[in-house]
C-alpha cells in the first residue's frame, strides 16, 4: 500500500491505493503537455468565480497571480512537473495550494476534472489545428511553386500504372495540392467543433452556483459553449474527427510517398530526392534510399490505428465521464505529432527534389499516350468515336509489332488504317501538341495548370 501520497480525492476512501494502481491510473506522463491550457483554463475559471462573487476578489487575485507564476516557473524549468502526481490538473492545483494556501483550495469550486480535462484537450487541439493548417499551407505553397516551374513538363499520366495520356508534372502535382487544400478545409471545419467550451458542465450535472459559462468561454477565446452538461463532459467527437481528418491527410501523404518512391527508382528516374531527405545503404554503395517517403507511408498505418483506438474507445461508453476516456489523449496526440512531423518532412522533401524532365519526356514519347489523340483526330474527320478508337488501336498494335511510334509511323502506313488520315496527322499526335490542346477546365494544358495554381493560392490567401 502506498500511504505516503495523500490523494486530493481521498475522503470516501482513505486513498491508500496500491502503488501499481497509482501508476496504472496516472496520466501525467502524457497529459503534462497540456499544462499551459490547464493554467489558462484555471485563470479564466478563477476570474469567472470572482466576477460572480462565488469567491472573493482577493482570493481571485491571489489564484490568478499564483497560476501565472506557476506557468512562468514551468516554462523556465524552475518548477518540474512531478511524475508521481495523478495528472496535470492535480499537479497544478497541488502546487498552487502549496504556494498560496487556502485560496488555492477554492479554485475547484463549480468545476470538476471532467469538464476541466475536456476543456484542456479542446484548447490544446485547437492550437494544434492551427499548426496543422499552417503546415499544410506551407506544403501546398511548395507544391504550387514546383508545379508552376513544370506547368509544361510533359510526362505520361497513368491509369492502372500503365501509361495512359499526356499530362505535365505540374498537373500531377496540382492533383496533390487539391487534396491538401481539402485537408486544410477539413481541419478548419474540425476547429469549429473543437472551440466549444464544456467548462461549467462540472462533473456532469452542472452546478448550483451562479456561474457564467459564456463569460468564461469568451475569456478562453471560444464563441460557443456546450449546451448540455452531460454531453459537455462526455463528448470526444472533436478528437475523433480531428484524428479522422488527420488520417485522410496521412492517406494523401502516403499516396504521394508511394509516387516519390516509384519516381525516384532507377526504373522511372523521374525525380531525384535530395541528399538531405534520403539515406544510403550500409552494404550497397550505389543506393540512395527514399527512407523519409517510406516512413511517411509507414506511419500512415499507426495514425489509422489512432483513429480506430478512439472510435473503439468511445463506442460502448455509457454517459457521462468514464475513466476509459483518459485513453483518448495518447491516441490523438500521436496522430497530431505524427502528421505534423510528416507534413514538415514532406514540405522540405518536395522543395529540394530534382526533377528529371528528360526522362519524363522520354517516357511520354514511348507509351502511346497519344493514341486517344489519334482517335480524336479521326473523330474530327467525321468518324464516330467507337470506330476511330478501333482504327487507332490497330495502328498502335502495328507500331508495337514493327518498332514504330505514332510519331514515326510512315504516312503510307497510316493511310491503311484510315483513308481520312492526312499530312496533319503528325501535328495531331505530337505529344506536346496533345498536352497543349487539353485545355478543358482542370486539364493538363499550361493555361489550365496555371489556373489551378492561381485557384489554390487564392484559396490559401482567402
Ligand atoms: N486524467 C483524467 C483524464 O485524462 C482527468 C479526469 C479525471 N476525472 C475523474 N473523474 N477521475 O481523463
161 and 62 in a single domain? The answer is: no
Residues with CB under 6 A from ligand 1: 27, 31, 87, 113-114, 117, 321, 323, 325-326
Closest-CA residue, ligand 1 atom 3, reads: 326
Q: What is the model's pLDDT at position 11?
A: 81
227 is in which domain, residue-wise?
113-209+221-361
Question: What average pLDDT score do residues 334-350 get?
Answer: 98
12 domain-assigned:
no
Q: What is the model's pLDDT at position 49?
A: 98
Tens of pLDDT, residue by residue over 221-257, are 999 999 999 999 999 999 999 999 999 999 999 999 9
Does the active-site annotation cover 160?
A: yes
Q: What is the model's pLDDT at position 3?
A: 41
Domain stop point among 337, 361, 385: 361
Total number of domains constituting the chain = 3
* Residue of 239, 323, 324, 332 to mutate, ligand 1, most atoms within 8 A of C-beta: 323
Separation between Cα atoms, residue 206 and residue 232, nearest integer Å: 10
| Residue 15 clears pLDDT 80, i.e. is over it | no
Tens of pLDDT, residue by residue over 173-226, are 999 999 999 999 999 999 999 999 999 999 999 999 999 999 999 999 999 999
1 domain-assigned:
no
| Residue 124 clears pLDDT 70, i.e. is over it | yes
Which one of 56, 281, 418, 445 is the catalytic residue? 281
Q: Is 7 exposed, middle or buried (0-12, 13-18, 19+ CB in 10 A)?
A: middle
Mean pLDDT across the chain: 96
| Residue 258 clears pLDDT 70, i.e. is over it | yes
| Residue 2 clears pLDDT 60, i.e. is over it | no
Closest-CA residue, ligand 1 atom 2, reads: 326
35 and 63 in a single domain? The answer is: yes
Domain stop point among 361, 386, 406: 361
How many Å lie between the centroid of ligand 1 and the Cα of residue 117? 7
145 and 251 in a single domain? The answer is: yes
How many Å lie between the centroid of ligand 1 and the Cα of residue 326? 6
2 domain-assigned:
no
Does the active-site annotation cover 281?
A: yes
* Residue of 42, 114, 198 to mutate, ligand 1, most atoms within 8 A of C-beta: 114
141 and 226 in a single domain? The answer is: yes
* Atom number in ligand 1 closest to CA 9: 11
Separation between Cα atoms, residue 298 and residue 441, nearest integer Å: 35
Q: What is the model's pLDDT at position 1?
A: 39
How many Å lie between the centroid of ligand 1 and the Cα of residue 25? 9
Percent of the chain with pLDDT over 90: 94
How many Å lie between the centroid of ligand 1 and the Cα of residue 35? 15
Q: What is the model's pLDDT at position 5?
A: 63
Tens of pLDDT, residue by residue over 147-175, are 999 999 999 999 999 999 999 999 999 99
Tens of pLDDT, residue by residue over 55-99, are 999 999 999 999 999 999 999 999 999 999 999 999 999 999 999
289 and 412 in a single domain? The answer is: no
CATH code, domain with 431: 1.10.40.30
Which one of 89, 160, 188, 243 is the catalytic residue? 160
Indicate the Cα dihedral angle 104, 110, 112, 115, nearest 10°.
Answer: -120
How many Å lie between the centroid of ligand 1 and the Cα of residue 38? 13
* Residue of 17, 94, 117 to mutate, ligand 1, most atoms within 8 A of C-beta: 117
Domain stop point among 91, 106, 121: 106
Amino acid at each position: 500500500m502506498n500511504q505516503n501520497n495523500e490523494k486530493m480525492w481521498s475522503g470516501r476512501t482513505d486513498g491508500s491505493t496500491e502503488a501499481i494502481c497509482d501508476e496504472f491510473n496516472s496520466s501525467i506522463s502524457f497529459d503534462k503537455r497540456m499544462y499551459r491550457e490547464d493554467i489558462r483554463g484555471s485563470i479564466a475559471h478563477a476570474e469567472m468565480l470572482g466576477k460572480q462573487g462565488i469567491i472573493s476578489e482577493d482570493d481571485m487575485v491571489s489564484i490568478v497571480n499564483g497560476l501565472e507564476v506557476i506557468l512562468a516557473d514551468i516554462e523556465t524549468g524552475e518548477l518540474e512537473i512531478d511524475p508521481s502526481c495523478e495528472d496535470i490538473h492535480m499537479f497544478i492545483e497541488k502546487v498552487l495550494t502549496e504556494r498560496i494556501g487556502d485560496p488555492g483550495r477554492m479554485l475547484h469550486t463549480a468545476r470538476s476534472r471532467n469538464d476541466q480535462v475536456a476543456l484542456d484537450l479542446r484548447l490544446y487541439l485547437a492550437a494544434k489545428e492551427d499548426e496543422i493548417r499552417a503546415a499544410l499551407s506551407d506544403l501546398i505553397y511548395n507544391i504550387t511553386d514546383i508545379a508552376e516551374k513544370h506547368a509544361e513538363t510533359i510526362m505520361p499520366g497513368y491509369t492502372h500504372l500503365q501509361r495512359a495520356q499526356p499530362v505535365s508534372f505540374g498537373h500531377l502535382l496540382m492533383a496533390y495540392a487539391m487534396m491538401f487544400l481539402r485537408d486544410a478545409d477539413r481541419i478548419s471545419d474540425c476547429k469549429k467543433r473543437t472551440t466549444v467550451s464544456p467548462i461549467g458542465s462540472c462533473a456532469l450535472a452542472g452546478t448550483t452556483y451562479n456561474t457564467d459559462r459564456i463569460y468564461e468561454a469568451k475569456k478562453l477565446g471560444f464563441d460557443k459553449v456546450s449546451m448540455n452538461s452531460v454531453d459537455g463532459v462526455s463528448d470526444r467527437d472533436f478528437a475523433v474527427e480531428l484524428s479522422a481528418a488527420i488520417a485522410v491527410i496521412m492517406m494523401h501523404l502516403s499516396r504521394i510517398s508511394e509516387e516519390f518512391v516509384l519516381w525516384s527508382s532507377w526504373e522511372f528516374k523521374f525525380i531525384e530526392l535530395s541528399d538531405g531527405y534520403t539515406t544510403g545503404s550500409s552494404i550497397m554503395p550505389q543506393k540512395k534510399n527514399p527512407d523519409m517517403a517510406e516512413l511517411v507511408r509507414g506511419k500512415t498505418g499507426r495514425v489509422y490505428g489512432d483513429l480506430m483506438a478512439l472510435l473503439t474507445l468511445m463506442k460502448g461508453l455509457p454517459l457521462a465521464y468514464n475513466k476509459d476516456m483518459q485513453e483518448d489523449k495518447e491516441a490523438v496526440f500521436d496522430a497530431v505529432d505524427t502528421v505534423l512531423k510528416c507534413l514538415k518532412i514532406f514540405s522540405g522533401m518536395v522543395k529540394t527534389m530534382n526533377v528529371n524532365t528528360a526522362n519524363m519526356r522520354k517516357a511520354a514519347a514511348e507509351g502511346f499516350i497519344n493514341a486517344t489523340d489519334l482517335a480524336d483526330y479521326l473523330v474530327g474527320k467525321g468518324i464516330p468515336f467507337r470506330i476511330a478508337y478501333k482504327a487507332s488501336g490497330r495502328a498502335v498494335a502495328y507500331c508495337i509489332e514493327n518498332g514504330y511510334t505514332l510519331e514515326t509511323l510512315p504516312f503510307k502506313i497510316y493511310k491503311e488504317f484510315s483513308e481520312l488520315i492526312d499530312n496533319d496527322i503528325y501535328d495531331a499526335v505530337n505529344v506536346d501538341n496533345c498536352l497543349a490542346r487539353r485545355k478543358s477546365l482542370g486539364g493538363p494544358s499550361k493555361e489550365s495548370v496555371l489556373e489551378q495554381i492561381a485557384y489554390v493560392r487564392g484559396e490559401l490567401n482567402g
